[in-house]
Structure formats: C-alpha cells, structure tokens
Amino acid sequence: MSENEENLIFNPSQQVIDGAIVKEYDQLYKYSIENREAFWAEQAEMLGWYKKWDKVLDSSNPPFYKWFVGAKTNIIHNAIDRHQTTANRNKLAFLWEGEDGLVRTFSYHALNREVSQFASVLKSMGVVKGDIVTIYMPQIPELVFAMLACAKIGAAHSVVYGGFSSEALLERITDAKSRVVITADGGFRRGKATQLKDIVNKALEMCSVVEVVITVRRTGEDVYMENDRDYWYHDLKALPIASTKCETEVMNSEDMLFLLYTSGSTGKPKGLVHTHGGYSVYTSTTHRMVFDIKPEDRFWCAADPGWITGHSYIVYGPLINGSTIFLYEGAPNHPYPDRWWKMIDKYGITILYTSPTAIRGLMRYGESWVNRHDISGLRLLGSVGEPISPEAWKWYHRVVGKGKAPIMDTWWQTETGGFMITPIPITPLKPGSATKPFFGNELGVVDDEGNDVKTGEQGNLVIKAPWPGMTCCINEDKERYYDTYWKRFEKQGWYSAGDAARIDKDGYYWIIGRTDDVIKVSGYRLGTAEVESALATHHLVAEAAVIAVPHELKGNAIHAFVVLRHGTEQSRVLEAELKEHVGKVMGPIAKPEAVVFVDLLPKTRSGKIMRRVLKARALGLDEGDLSTLEE
C-alpha cells in the first residue's frame, strides 16, 4: 500500500456519530484491555443465564482457556427463548427469499415453533445431548432451523457447505461420527436444481456410521430414499412426535455448540469446536457494537450459513440481539445482475455484510444495475473474507453506500468465532484497512522471533490475549490445536493467525494475506495440501504442487504444477480432466484455474516442495535464495 492510500481517510458523518451506540473508541479500548475480565463480564450481563459464572476466565492451562466457567446456559435461551416474553415475540426474526421468488417469513414466535418441532423430531430419532449431527443443505430456512434445533437439545451441529463433494462430505461425517444427517433434495442455483440428496446418497454408500437421514423437500425433484434410513422432514413434521413444545437443554458454558471444518496446512480438514457460553457473548457483542444494531434494522449477511460468517452473523449473533435477518437462496446475478439490489429495496435492508469477491463480481456489471433500485435505506456496509482493494472499497462505498454508509472491514477467522480487527461506525476509515482491534483484544505484528516489527513493515499477525469467541480446540485433537496455532510463539503464549500484516503510523492494521499453506479463492479457504492430495488421487498423476496466483475476480486462483506418471502423454484433454477431477473430489470451488505439466518439482534437499519458487516463476519474479534447492 502506498503512503498515499494510508493518508486517504473517510470520516464518519455527524449523523452516524450521533446515532452510534458506541460513541468513543480509545478510552473504551484502553479500559477493555486493562480490565479484560470485567469488560467481558459486563457484556455477558446483557444476556440471560440459567446460572451465572463462578469465574469469567480460567487461564490456568494455556492455551486451553475456559470462559464463563461454572455458568449454565444454552445459546438458544438467548437466541430464541428470551424473545418469547418480550416485544420481540411478534417481531420478524427471519425473512427468506428463494431464487425462484418464493418468500417465507417467521416471527420470533414462529421461529420458536419451527425450531421446537425440528428439535422434537431429532429427539424422536434418538439424537441426544453430546451427539454431533451433520447438516448438508442449501440456503433455505430449514438449514437455520436444523442448526438451532441441534443446539436446543444439546447436540452439536457440523454444517458442511453445500458446495462440497460427496468425498469431502464423507470425510467430515466420518470424523464427526454423525449418526444422523440432515439434508434436502436440493436447492436452486442459477435456475437449476442442485442434487444434494444424490451427493449424500453417494457419500453414504461408503459409510457405516450414519443410521438416519432426514431430507427436507425444496425442489420437488425425484430422489432415491432408502428404506429404514431415509425420512422426509415434512412426513415427520406431520406426526404427533413433532411437538411445538420442546425444553431447551441446560448446558455448561464450555459445552460444544458446533463443529466446523476448515482447511489447514495439512491434508485433513480440522474440526474446530465452538462452545455455548463464550461464543454467545462474543458474537452478540461484536454484532451489536460493530453493526450498531437498532431494533428496526434489517440485517443481511450474504454469506452461506455453512461457513463461520453465517454461523456467527446470520444465525447466532443477530438472533441473540433480536434482529431481523434476511437470507437469500441463490446466485447474486440470477436472473439479472440486479437481484441483490432489488431485494435490498424490496425488503428495506439497512445493513449489508458481504465479501470482496462478491463486490468485485457485482462491480463488473456496472453501476446502472444498482441505480435501478432505491437502496438508500442501507446505513452500514460490511466486508469479510480477504483484503478488499481500495478500488473495490471505493466502489462499494460510493455506489452501494451512496457515499454515506461506512464500511466495516472485519478481519477474523473460523477459529476466532467473531470479529477481531474491525472498525466501529465512528472510526475514521482508510480503504483497504481493517483499522483497529475490537475491544478486549490485543494483537500485534511481529518478526519470526516475536519482536514487534517497525511501523509500516510486514510481519506475522498474532493475537496476544484470550477472547471469549476463541475456538476451544480441534475436535478430539488437542495436540494438533496446540501445534497449529500456539507452538510457533509458545514462548510468548501468542496465537499465530497465519496472516501477514502491517501496522501504519496511525496504528491501523493492513492485512496482506496468508503466510501458510492456505489459499483464499473467492474468500473460500482451501489448503494447498488438500488440493495436491486430490490431484494425486488421479491415476495418471505422480506428484503435484499448487500455488495461489492473483486473480481479478476471485482474489486468488489456483495454479497446479503436475508431474505425470512415467510414459503419460501431456494433453489439453488431460489438463481439463485433472481440473474436473479436483472439482469432483473436493467440490467446484477447488478447481484449478490452470494445470501446468512439469518434469520435476523444485524441492529442498529434505524433500519439501518449494512453492515459493513455483510462484516466482509463475509471476515472472525473482526466485530468491535457491541455496536449499536440490540439484
């Protein structure tokens, strides 16, 4: 980033400042880190608890921190139950539009009935506290009901993104040992029905742990249902077992709420665990303060509920805050590129939270599509998933935000549960910077030894103190949790984020990107090792290495370098076949943009692939120090 961009500042308007629920940053930030536990206790006091905590933070066994120790709660108590006895009861909780134009709406009262019925059905299928239920669904209301129903009865959910392949789904079902899977016949995407149930059927051919599959009907297409395993949700919902009354299970603060798989440096995806107590406090506080939530807001987080962004800011944070949420099923450009703007106008959306990749995608159609609709009701915007270029930021601000809606560029991760570095509406903004740490958080940018780098210099982004939204562990693998996040700076006891960043002279953070073997494609997180192992499962591939190359729309694209088995002919057909193969093994988002055949991969003498060299060559840059390169 040039000096120039660092000095470009967008100040909030007087109107934003006057209306903001948090009117000042510096003092509250200072207070929150000097009195971390008191600050979080004050936030926790705003929620309801069956029993309050004995201790806010137990740090006796770092990095295995425990929040709100001794407290009894259930996130559903705050997200649904509490609203039944207030004015929120008849408030709109949830507005949904299908890609085909179907509209469904639910008040908090109706939401409670839907979730209770789903929970009763799960119970009747033998789901008990502590079970992990896998959910593989399109973006329909039942996805949200299913998640909430699991939480209500004390089962953990593991949502697998609906774009994943049967292989990826199988791996996650097996790791979570799910007895029950919830899915749908399909959903609509670009006018076509997706075949989710077929993918589930295929995964289950090779799986022995699943006993029950509950399928929600959405598209009405014919699907294969297996006797004594498969049940239609609408059939179960019509039975007396599907009671609209269902007790919310009393949980310990530290009990598992959900498991969410994410990519890491090694092949096997990590099942990250989030808990009821700390996560409730963290998602609701960050959502309320950063998006300045008022009772009349209509909040649209346009992520897929299958990712952490959807878990924290479509489902849990907003519902705890009693907000009205909006969910849309399909593609942003279907049937025309103004679909989003049309819905923002139609439903009176006041806050839009999306990703740079979506903004770049919509930007390329030009502003006339936006200007056909009255979206002046938008008062705040948000961005997440990857760095937003100053160019995309300015377009978003000017064309979508009409120059008046501040952009909350939120840096966080699946592991952090909620926003870590983010503005609040009163923060003066610099396009492309996520600005400053959220309250209670201490971060830093350090060299490999852990020393602060100089102002403006690039280094490793670290988190220096625990926060209530943090993942508690990787499912059944404490050692991997420690090794992945805490080992690198174990002397200092810091969390290593895997990102490179800079801090400028005003203390603003500029995120540069991943420094580990993670690639962000259209904001989706993929592991190089996962893509490489997918390629290696093809019978003609001897070895493969993948790198990220900058891409105008996707942010990054995957380039694969492939060594073929001896005697295999290189061809365009094989190139296309390998791309398809990765799509089939992992899901379409992982398809490489380019496949390059090579005779050898650059390796160190100890046999590690030097992706840095491949990248330099692909980009035509200096290859740097090659002294460790094997002959």
User: Does 261 sit near ligand WT7 (CB under 6 A)?
Assistant: no
User: Does 559 sit near ligand WT7 (CB under 6 A)?
Assistant: no
Stretch that binds ligand WT7, among 59-67, 136-144, 409-417, 596-604 (CB under 6 A): 409-417
Nearest to 395 by CA among 364, 426, 429: 364
**Which two tokens mark 552?**
């105008």
* Residue 325 backbone phi and psi in degrees, to 5: -105, 155
- Which residues have C-beta within 8 Å of that of residue 342, sequence separation ≥ 6? 372, 373
Nearest to 311 by CA among 439, 203, 157: 157
Shortest CB 277 distance to ligand WT7, Å: 20
User: Does 433 sit near ligand WT7 (CB under 6 A)?
Assistant: no
Options 310, 361, 385, 425; binder of ligand WT7; rule CB under 6 A: 385
* DSSP-assigned letters across all residues of 238-303: TSTTS-S--PPPPEETTSEEEEEEE--SSSSPEEEEEEHHHHHHHHHHHHHHHTT--TT-EEEE-S
User: Does 470 sit near ligand WT7 (CB under 6 A)?
Assistant: no
User: Does 80 sit near ligand WT7 (CB under 6 A)?
Assistant: no
* Residue 503 backbone phi and psi in degrees, to 5: -120, 130
Shortest CB 71 distance to ligand WT7, Å: 26
Say what the alpha-carbon torsion angle 173, 178, 184, 187 is, to the nearest 10 degrees: -40
User: Does 499 sit near ligand WT7 (CB under 6 A)?
Assistant: yes
User: Does 160 sit near ligand WT7 (CB under 6 A)?
Assistant: no
User: Does 541 sit near ligand WT7 (CB under 6 A)?
Assistant: no
Shortest CB 174 distance to ligand WT7, Å: 22
Q: Which residues of 278-307 are buried (b: 16+ CB within 10 A; e: fewer)?
A: bbbbbbbbbbbbbbbbeeebbbbbbbbbbb
Looking at residue 589, the DSSP 8-state letter turns out to be: G
Task: For residues 161 and 478, give the distance between their C-alpha atoms in angstroms, rounded to a whole number.
Answer: 25
* Residue 52 backbone phi and psi in degrees, to 5: -75, 165
Pairing state of beta strands 459-463 and 92-97?
unpaired
Q: Is 61 helix (H, G, I), strand (E, B) or coil?
A: coil
Q: Is 137 helix (H, G, I), strand (E, B) or coil?
A: coil
Residues 278-317 as x/- pattern, contact with ligand WT7 by CB under 6 A: ------------------------------xx--------
User: Does 436 sit near ligand WT7 (CB under 6 A)?
Assistant: no
Ranges within 478-497 binding ligand WT7 (CB under 6 A): 497
Q: Which is nearer to ligand WT7, 136 or 495 (CB)?
A: 495
Options 53, 279, 299, 412; binder of ligand WT7; rule CB under 6 A: 412
Stretch that binds ligand WT7, among 19-27, 274-282, 511-519, 544-552 (CB under 6 A): 511-519
Residue at 101: amino acid letter: G
Shortest CB 161 distance to ligand WT7, Å: 11
Peptide bond preceding 387 in cis form (omega within 30 of 0)? no
Shortest CB 188 distance to ligand WT7, Å: 24
Cβ atoms within 10 Å of 209's Cβ, excluding its own? 14
Stretch that binds ligand WT7, among 43-51, 215-223, 510-518, 547-555 (CB under 6 A): 510-518
**Which two tokens mark 181?**
């899977």
Q: Please return the burial class of 245, using the count of CB atoms within 10 Å of its CB with bins 0-12, 13-18 and 19+.
A: exposed
Task: For residues 128 and 355, give the distance between their C-alpha atoms in angstroms, rounded to a whole number.
Answer: 36
Place of tokens 């365009």: 572
Shortest CB 449 distance to ligand WT7, Å: 22
Secondary element (H or E) of residue 15? helix 14-19
**Which two tokens mark 394?**
């300015």
User: Does 386 sit near ligand WT7 (CB under 6 A)?
Assistant: yes
Shortest CB 81 distance to ligand WT7, Å: 27
Shortest CB 512 distance to ligand WT7, Å: 8
Shortest CB 431 distance to ligand WT7, Å: 12
Ranges within 513-532 binding ligand WT7 (CB under 6 A): 513-514, 520, 525
Q: Which is nearer to ligand WT7, 186 or 401 (CB)?
A: 401
User: Does 183 sit near ligand WT7 (CB under 6 A)?
Assistant: no
State the number of binding residues for ligand WT7 (CB under 6 A): 22
* Residue 139 backbone phi and psi in degrees, to 5: -85, 75
User: Does 414 sit near ligand WT7 (CB under 6 A)?
Assistant: yes
Dihedral sign, Cα of residue 333, residue 433, residue 473, residue 144: negative
Options 141, 187, 330, 387; binder of ligand WT7; rule CB under 6 A: 387
Shortest CB 432 distance to ligand WT7, Å: 9
Options 56, 259, 470, 511; binder of ligand WT7; rule CB under 6 A: 511
Stretch that binds ligand WT7, among 482-490, 512-520, 573-581, 614-622 (CB under 6 A): 512-520
Q: Which is nearer to ligand WT7, 548 or 609 (CB)?
A: 548
Beta bridge partners of 550: 556
User: Does 475 sit near ligand WT7 (CB under 6 A)?
Assistant: no
User: Does 410 sit near ligand WT7 (CB under 6 A)?
Assistant: yes
User: Does 420 sit near ligand WT7 (CB under 6 A)?
Assistant: no
Q: Please check whether residue 234 is in contact with residue 217, taking contact to mean a CB–CB distance below 8 angstroms.
A: yes
Which spans of this chain sit near ligand WT7 (rule: CB under 6 A)?
262, 308-309, 384-387, 409-414, 434, 497-499, 511, 513-514, 520, 525
